[in-house]
Structure 1
């Protein structure tokens, strides 16, 4: 079947019948030549508008406890197992967290995520989060998300009851590739935490990291596995190789290939919030606006956990230039 026919069939399924594509159909689209990527991106943009609407959600993130993580995620400079330039720091104090939340809100963001470099929260960390979350929400008037690693059922219940709006726990990559990325915990532990988040009524933010050496087939596998946990939001990260980590010498994803996969994740997860996240600046360079018209409908503004993003003003100007309104894409507590 020709490229044009494959894209036309996908359009009929997603826009006319409002049905999901099969993984086999996504694999066929993944095999299209590079010359078809702009057409694929255009369809993904139409799917985003039809399934999610025109609004773009803006979020700020704060690394409230940086470095010293005991896990060996091979892409991460916060692991205590690797010789990197990231030093372990204690949990930020309350005033620092509140100031960061206030700055995020001033940018027009509707979500503020508190991120901790831990395997999972101990009781002291749980108490700190349960103190901070309602304080930030009530004083700043912004939804609060948390990323604190692997959860037990009891911890998920307490965070939900404590006012956490959205919990971030990334699958990162396909189950079949995961052992090449992390050895200190399993993909199934991550998958179970995602299920607990959903079970206890929090929104699930479950991201991916592309460019670690996974195959095309494993990226399609990952889309199928994301469908199983039904995330509200999927951050799209591209590997930004960190010196001192096992993946520090991996090449960047090519810009046009990044656009292809943004589009494919939108076509595979048509109703999800698809968020621009880490690595987009170095991967896409001058094509970042094109990504916004290839299915993206949310973005992190400002800096990431251990790497610099571009200025929030640049991103807000990009949205204004594209006539993309900033809005809230999920339930608000």
Structure 2
């Protein structure tokens, strides 16, 4: 009788493959990590932290975000309270240039090195790009040399070139979820359209920021699919969000992702993306609380958004800065290469 083959432990494989060689896990391997039992989460997080330290170093990148144009978006992203297609309480509004300058100044005062200007749009029109251009100039005229990122939806090549000329060093455009699950989340545009924008951004020399949201009804297999699709893009940064079931959206009654499930996702994404900035973003307060946030920071996360999000409250920036000090994690210094 032939003996059954000995089962290979995925964390043992990851220790050699990811920690020692810097090669991210495959889709099948990521799925195995996502299926680990709760009692193995500490082991997973310890390994993910070692991977982060080995391939990214100890520094944490701190970022603040501000909404230049809020609400009234024509797209139907089912998680988003800014969609004009859903009866959410968010209404369309614009932030003026002085308000943008104040937000950038306040962000820099926290010690953050990154300031992201966000707009709820399918893609920017001439008015929006003019507002962004004037805003960046006003921020620089204020003496603020913080690095500026933008998230303005899908772009044309001409718009990509305009943003490069403005000095935008990083562009955020989330794929949100696995390609196979995307049509269940958004119907007004395709996953491929988002991918095309990201390709143009990368080819133009801007840094690529691309992540998504955990907890939108995707299977664990689709979560693993998403992780390796992101890895194939080779983004500079991956913001990891956890669903906030916003009132008035199709997902308002979806359950909040539980802590152990979220921590497995953090560890798995780090093992799929060993060299990438992995950022705690929206929903972490709801999913983790203070204790879980510390576990995540010690489980592969090396960047955070401080302060409030676009339409949801975060926690005071100082609380996160205190947490980083408590964990002896240095804040990344501002690069002078703008």
TM-score range for the pair, normalised by the shorter chain length:
over 0.9
Q: Which residue of 1 aligns with 2:305?
A: 300
The DSSP-based 3-state class of the residue aligned with 2:63 is: strand
Q: Which residue of 2 aligns with 1:273?
A: 277
Q: How many residues align?
A: 331
In structure 2, C-alpha distance between the alignment counterparts of 1:312 and 1:80, rounded to whole Å: 30
In structure 1, C-alpha distance between the alignment counterparts of 2:215 and 2:140, rounded to whole Å: 35
Cα deviation, residue 34, structure 1: 1.4
In structure 2, C-alpha distance between the alignment counterparts of 1:144 and 1:41, rounded to whole Å: 31
Note if contact 2:97-2:138 (Cα within 8 Å) is conserved in structure 1: no
5+ residue gaps, structure 1, are: none
In structure 2, C-alpha distance between the alignment counterparts of 1:319 and 1:203, rounded to whole Å: 25
The correspondence of residues 138-217 of structure 1 with structure 2, limited to 5 A, is: 139-217=143-221
Cα deviation, residue 183, structure 1: 0.7
In structure 1, C-alpha distance between the alignment counterparts of 2:146 and 2:7, rounded to whole Å: 48
The DSSP-based 3-state class of the residue aligned with 1:62 is: strand
The correspondence of residues 36-185 of structure 1 with structure 2, limited to 5 A, is: 36-90=40-94, 92-137=95-140, 139-185=143-189
In structure 1, C-alpha distance between the alignment counterparts of 2:137 and 2:164, rounded to whole Å: 11
In structure 1, C-alpha distance between the alignment counterparts of 2:281 and 2:269, rounded to whole Å: 14
Give per-residue Cα distances to partners, 1:113-168, cap 9 Å, x unaligned. Answer: 01001110011111221222243245211000111000011111110121001111
In structure 1, C-alpha distance between the alignment counterparts of 2:214 and 2:235, rounded to whole Å: 18
In structure 2, C-alpha distance between the alignment counterparts of 1:187 and 1:328, rounded to whole Å: 34
Cα deviation, residue 330, structure 1: 7.1
Give the counterpart of 1:315 among 285, 300, 320: 320
Q: Is 1:28 the counterpart of 2:28 in the alignment? A: no
Cα deviation, residue 13, structure 1: 1.1
Q: Is 1:224 the counterpart of 2:228 in the alignment? A: yes
User: Once structures 1 and 2 are overlaid, which stretch shifts more, 169-178 or 18-27?
Assistant: 18-27
In structure 1, C-alpha distance between the alignment counterparts of 2:178 and 2:273, rounded to whole Å: 15
Cα deviation, residue 16, structure 1: 2.0
In structure 2, C-alpha distance between the alignment counterparts of 1:137 and 1:223, rounded to whole Å: 36
Give the counterpart of 1:288 among 293, 316, 320: 293
The DSSP-based 3-state class of the residue aligned with 1:204 is: strand
Give per-residue Cα distances to partners, 1:26-69, cap 9 Å, x unaligned. Answer: 22222221111111011000000000000000000001111111
Note if contact 1:137-1:144 (Cα within 8 Å) is conserved in structure 2: no
The DSSP-based 3-state class of the residue aligned with 2:161 is: helix
Note if contact 2:23-2:274 (Cα within 8 Å) is conserved in structure 1: no
Instruction: Calculate the TM-score normalised by the size of structure 2.
Output: 0.95
Note if contact 1:57-1:329 (Cα within 8 Å) is conserved in structure 2: no
Cα deviation, residue 18, structure 1: 2.7
In structure 2, C-alpha distance between the alignment counterparts of 1:329 and 1:221, rounded to whole Å: 34
Give per-residue Cα distances to partners, 1:232-271, cap 9 Å, x unaligned. Answer: 0000000010011000000011101101100110000011
The DSSP-based 3-state class of the residue aligned with 2:221 is: helix
CA RMSD of aligned residues (A): 1.4
Cα deviation, residue 287, structure 1: 1.1
